[in-house]
Amino acid sequence: MTDDDAAIVIAGRRDDWPDGPRTLRPRQATREPNGTLWFGAELDSTGDQVWFRIDQQSIGRMPDKTPGARGRRLVDALLAQVGKSDLPLKSTLNRFEARVSAAGDTWVERLRW
């Protein structure tokens, strides 16, 4: 695992998951040719997954300095987005673009593909 792979770790139990408590298990990070990173987790052993696409600059703007805290921030942003949206999480695969403002505010947008 490279330093980029460990920049965000999405793991741990979430009691506030929309369909009830879930345990997130990290998946191996991947990198696109342009340098954009993907970080993801499997939800329990169901095979359902959630993935976040984020560029290196956005990671650097996150106020959190540990991989686990960054991962929790992304999941918090995801749950906030799902809570105010009429687009529930899908079974199987969910993909989101993570955005981070210059001030460190973090939000996610569902990718349609």
**In terms of C-beta distances under 8 Å and separation of at least 24 residues, what long-range contacts does 26-30 make, across chains too?**
26/71, 27/51, 28/1, 29/1, 29/4, 29/5
What pLDDT tens digit does each residue of the chain (113 aa) get? 455 567 999 999 999 998 889 999 999 999 999 999 999 999 987 889 999 999 999 999 999 999 999 999 999 999 998 877 766 788 889 999 999 999 999 999 999 87
Per DSSP, 63 falls in state: S
**Residue 106: what are its φ and ψ, rounded to 5°?**
-120, 135
- Can you give the pLDDT at residue 55? 96
Q: For residue 112, which amino acid is it?
A: R
14 vs 21: CA distance, rounded Å: 6
Per DSSP, 34 falls in state: T
- Can you give the pLDDT at residue 1? 42
